[in-house]
């Protein structure tokens, strides 16, 4: 990251900044950690958790025997907060204070306070299970509950059980204290009140339609800019495409004296660092949730929040991981608010109404519950742990039967080493690197061997999209269905027909007019295209050939089948299909093109309620196997 040091005046002598609210509880924090080995610490965003607690621990001698580790969920936060702490301690970054992230590190042998990402921490503790290097591990923003930080914490607890000396602290502004105490009975809890500066909160007075969000955000920015009051603006958008649309909306408004910059994880680090550099013009930073937590961008007085996030959810009924733009929970929006009001009073503009805000869930669900358990198990095995040999105790841990089922799925998908199922097969290891549902991973990697990897990546992206690619708007249902049928080239697989929609859209340049005429959802297509691109890049990076080779229908069906070995259904009587392994029964939905096939794979389910009020499971997408 760029050197922005000279822009910030050094704090007054001493450790850190004793005016920050967290110092009111610091003696208690030190006392608790001297006498015990765990603590949960809650205080408002901006109160000084990330920058002050490590310094106080250092001053108190906690770094004499081991290092102070600070585990962050975000690369940018690890680097930026380390930079800030080094500066407050008047030491060069990379000396006493350093950081290690996947993409880069600045650290030396004498580093005593080390900021790192949860991925790096996981590797450290894997190689050194007793955590002999560390005296204290601070899990920052722990309530975000990423799988990697959950696993890191579970392993840290385990190190204590094995006689390790490392203590841990869970830090957050919005920690669910009851849940933490349930998991760690008797854990001390310290709460500090107050944030450094107040933030005025404004909700929208009308509902903003999803496709209007970029324009509405730009309009608010223009209104802020017109007031001539100083301060940079940070806008939260769900993804890259909404960021670009907001940038074009801002361009249309032709504002003078502003400097517009995007911020998302795919930008190179040097470009991301620009947002921290002072600018003579008003900075308008448009970011995904990479800037949602942990960062102080000095100069930001205004936050504009779309109230949306791009993330993964898990639909247990359909057993599908859904990736897409979704409404974010309140904890997320509170964190976004917290980005204003860190170095001066701030203003927060939400694009949703107060009523809508109040109807949102309070907490984002933990990642372990937002993923199919087979994904979680695949990750845990990829790290060298297994329920059989080396179980770990996670929060929100699913029951034994669910783990068993997940294990069986991984076995059928070919992810496990047949000689030792605690380990992954080479195929399973590649699957774990792909970052998607193991079903899709198997389909894509096998597809690559069969010359249709690209097609499978598209099918995987369509499967996990949270919008329907082929919507049937009320009132135009018949017209839409007629148009949709024109895309149907296969009578043996609904997924192949969906793939054909994508191929036709591609031939037509992903054009929005073409989409409208054909009743294809343009926003869905945009998301699918992005997701498929990500999957292809990941598989390509692993050395898989992702060219498409015009595979025939038979080959496509074969590749699809790789992802669903546990979903084979046989025709029974009266329109019913049955899974002979599980006994599950279902009928084929009317959207499926398949009729009268003896053996099918159920690719997707829906549940409908009949006129008689009965719940009926339907197979909404299927593929014939012979």
Residue number, 364 or 592, with CB nearest to Mg ion: 364
Residue placing its CB nearer to ligand ADP in the complex, 84 or 526: 84
479 Cβ contact partners less than 8 Å away, ≥ 6 residues apart: 519
Nearer to Mg ion, 168 or 403 (CB): 168
Which neighbouring-strand residues pair with 70? Answer: 115, 138
- Least distance from ligand ADP to the Cβ atom of residue 133, Å: 24
* Cβ nearer to ligand ADP, comparing 49 with 74: 49
Q: Which does 381 bind (CB under 5 to 8 A by kind): ligand ADP, Mg ion, none?
A: none
For 72, 83, 295, 422, the CA distances from 337, given in Å and listed in that order, are 20, 23, 12, 44
Where helices occur in 360-423 by DSSP H, the ranges are 373-382, 400-412
The site for Mg ion (CB under 5 A) is made up of: 49-50, 294
Which strand (E) or helix (H) includes residue 56? helix 49-59
Residue 343 Cβ, how far from ligand ADP at the closest point, in Å? 5
20 binds ligand ADP, rule: CB under 6 A? yes
Cα separations in angstroms, 580 against 317, 585, 589: 19, 9, 19
Helix, strand or coil for residue 477?
A: helix
Task: Pick one of Mg ion, ligand ADP, none as the site partner of residue 343 (Cβ within 5 to 8 A by kind).
Answer: ligand ADP
In the complex with Mg ion, which residue's Cβ is closer, 50 or 371?
Answer: 50
**CA pair distance 447, 185, nearest whole angstrom:** 48
Is position 73 an interface residue for ligand ADP (rule: CB under 6 A)? no
Least distance from C-beta 20 to ligand ADP, angstroms? 5
Burial tier of 326 (Cβ tally within 10 Å: 0-12, 13-18, 19+): middle
Q: How far is the CB of 122 from ligand ADP (least distance, A)?
A: 22
**Smallest distance, Å, CB 232 to ligand ADP?**
12
CB of 176 to ligand ADP, least distance (A): 17
State which of residues 84, 225, 245, 283 lies at the interface with ligand ADP (CB under 6 A): 84
Partner from ligand ADP, Mg ion, none contacting 48, C-beta within 5 to 8 A by type? ligand ADP
Residue bearing tokens 């936050």: 303
| Tokens 């992810």 sit on residue | 415
Please pick, from the candidates 23, 26, 42, 47, the single residue that binds ligand ADP as defined by CB under 6 A.
47
Rounded to 5°, angle at Cα 522 from 519 and 524 = 105
Closer by beta carbon to ligand ADP, 51 or else 446:
51
Using CB under 6 A, which of 40, 46, 145, 497 touches ligand ADP? 46
Write each residue from 183 to 202 as x if it is in contact with ligand ADP (CB under 6 A), else as -, in one continuous string: -------------x------
CA 148 distance to own-chain centroid? 11
Give whichever of 337 and 350 is closer to ligand ADP, judged by the CB atom: 337
Measured distance CA(225)–CA(222) in Å, rounded:
5
Size of interface with ligand ADP, in residues (CB under 6 A): 18
**Is residue 335 a contact point for ligand ADP (CB under 6 A)?**
no
Residues 51-70 that bind ligand ADP (CB under 6 A): 51-52
Nearer residue to Mg ion within complex by CB, 72 or 319: 72
Nearest distance from residue 172's CB to ligand ADP, in Å? 9
The DSSP symbol for 6 reads G
User: Residue 524: CB partners within 8 Å, gap ≥ 6?
Assistant: 465, 467, 468, 469, 471
Part in contact with ligand ADP (CB under 6 A); list of ranges 41-49, 514-522, 547-555, 585-593: 41-49
Alpha helices by DSSP H, listed for 69-191, are 75-88, 118-127, 147-161, 177-183
How far apart CA 232 and CA 299 sit, in angstroms, is: 5
For 254-383, where are the alpha helices, taking DSSP H only? 269-273, 330-338, 354-359, 373-382
Listed in sequence order, the residues at least 6 apart from 473 whose beta carbon sits closer than 8 Å to its beta carbon are: 480, 519
- Chain centre to alpha carbon of residue 591: 31
Radius of gyration of the chain (CA): 26
Q: How many CB atoms lie within 10 A of CB 97?
A: 29
* CB distance 456 to 463 below 8 Å: no
Mapped onto helix, strand or coil, the DSSP state of residue 9 is coil
Sketch the per residue contact string, 343 through 372, with ligand ADP: x for CB under 6 A, - otherwise.
Answer: x-----------------------------
* Closer residue to ligand ADP, CB minimum distance, 20 or 147: 20
Q: Which of ligand ADP, Mg ion, none interacts with 55 (beta carbon under 5 to 8 A by kind)?
A: none
- By CB under 6 A, which span of 44-52, 202-210, 240-248, 255-263 interacts with ligand ADP? 44-52
The one of Mg ion, ligand ADP, none whose footprint includes residue 438, by CB under 5 to 8 A per kind, is none
Judged by CB, which is closer to Mg ion: 74, or 407? 74
* The three-state (H, E, C) secondary structure of 214-227, written as one string: HHHHHHHHHHHHHC
What's the min distance (Å) between Cβ of 402 and Mg ion?
A: 34
- 196: partner contacted, choices Mg ion, ligand ADP, none (Cβ within 5-8 A by kind): ligand ADP
Could you say which of ligand ADP, Mg ion, none residue 325 binds, taking C-beta under 5 to 8 angstroms by partner kind?
none
- Using CB under 6 A, pick the residue from 167, 342, 374, 439 that binds ligand ADP: 342
Phi/psi at 295 (5° precision): -90, 140
Site string for ligand ADP, 530-569 (x = CB under 6 A): ----------------------------------------
Measured torsion, CA atoms of residues 570, 576, 580, 584, in degrees rounded to the nearest 10: 140
Binding site for ligand ADP (CB under 6 A): 8, 20, 43, 45-52, 81, 84, 196, 296, 298, 342-343
């Amino acid at each position: 990251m760029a050197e922005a040091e000279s822009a910030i005046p050094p704090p007054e002598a001493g450790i850190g900044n004793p005016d920050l609210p967290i110092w009111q509880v610091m003696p208690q924090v030190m006392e608790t950690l001297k006498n015990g080995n765990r603590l949960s610490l809650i205080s408002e965003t901006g109160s000084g958790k990330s920058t002050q607690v490590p310094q106080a621990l250092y001053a108190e001698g906690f770094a004499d025997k081991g290092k102070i580790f600070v585990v962050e969920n975000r690369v940018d936060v690890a680097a930026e907060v380390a930079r800030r702490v080094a500066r407050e301690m008047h030491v060069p970054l990379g000396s006493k204070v350093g950081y290690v992230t996947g993409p880069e590190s600045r650290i030396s042998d004498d580093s005593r306070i080390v900021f790192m990402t949860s991925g790096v921490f996981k590797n450290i503790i894997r190689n050194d299970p007793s955590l002999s290097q560390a005296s204290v591990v601070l899990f920052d923003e722990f309530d975000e509950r990423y799988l990697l930080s959950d696993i890191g914490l579970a392993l840290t607890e385990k190190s204590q059980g094995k006689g390790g000396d490392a203590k841990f602290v869970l830090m957050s502004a919005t920690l669910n204290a009851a849940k933490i105490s349930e998991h760690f009975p008797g854990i001390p809890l310290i709460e500090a009140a107050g944030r450094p500066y107040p933030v005025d909160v404004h909700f929208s007075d009308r509902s903003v339609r999803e496709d209007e969000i970029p324009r509405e955000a730009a309009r608010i920015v223009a209104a802020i800019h017109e007031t001539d009051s100083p301060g940079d603006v940070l806008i939260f958008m769900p993804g890259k495409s909404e960021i670009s649309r907001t940038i074009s909306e801002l361009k249309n408004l032709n504002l003078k004296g502003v400097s517009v910059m995007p911020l998302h994880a795919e930008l190179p680090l040097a470009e991301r660092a620009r947002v921290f550099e002072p600018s003579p013009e008003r900075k308008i930073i448009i970011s995904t949730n990479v800037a949602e937590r942990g960062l102080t961008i000095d100069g930001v007085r205004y936050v504009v929040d779309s109230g949306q996030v791009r993330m993964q959810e898990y639909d247990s009924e359909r057993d599908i991981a859904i990736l897409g733009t979704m409404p974010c929970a309140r904890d997320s929006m509170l964190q976004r608010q917290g980005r204003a009001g860190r170095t001066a009073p701030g203003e927060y503009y939400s694009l949703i109404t107060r009523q809508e805000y109040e109807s949102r869930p309070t907490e984002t669900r933990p990642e372990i519950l937002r993923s199919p358990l087979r994904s979680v198990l695949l990750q845990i095995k990829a790290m060298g742990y297994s329920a059989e040999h080396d179980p770990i105790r996670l929060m929100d841990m699913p029951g034994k039967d669910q783990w068993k089922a997940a294990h069986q799925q991984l076995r059928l998908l070919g992810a496990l080493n047949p000689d030792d199922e605690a380990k992954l097969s080479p195929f399973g290891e590649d699957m774990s690197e792909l970052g998607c549902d193991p079903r899709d991973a198997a389909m894509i990697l096998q597809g690559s061997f069969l010359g249709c990897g690209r097609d499978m990546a598209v099918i995987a992206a369509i499967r996990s999209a949270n919008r329907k690619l082929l919507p049937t708007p009320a009132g135009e249902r018949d017209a839409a269905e007629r148009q949709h049928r024109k895309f149907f080239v296969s009578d043996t697989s609904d997924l192949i027909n969906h793939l054909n929609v994508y191929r036709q859209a591609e031939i037509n340049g992903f054009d929005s007019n073409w989409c409208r005429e054909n009743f294809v959802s343009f926003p869905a297509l945009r998301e699918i295209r992005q997701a498929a691109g990500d999957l292809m890049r990941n598989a390509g990076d692993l050395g898989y050939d992702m060219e498409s080779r015009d595979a025939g229908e038979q080959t496509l069906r074969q590749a699809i089948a790789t992802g669903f070995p546990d979903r084979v259904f046989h025709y029974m009587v009266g329109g019913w299909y049955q899974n002979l392994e599980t006994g599950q029964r279902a009928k084929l939905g009317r959207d499926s093109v398949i009729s009268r096939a003896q053996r099918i794979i159920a690719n997707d389910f829906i549940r409908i309620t009949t006129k008689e009020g009965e719940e009926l499971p339907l197979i909404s997408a299927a593929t014939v196997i012979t």
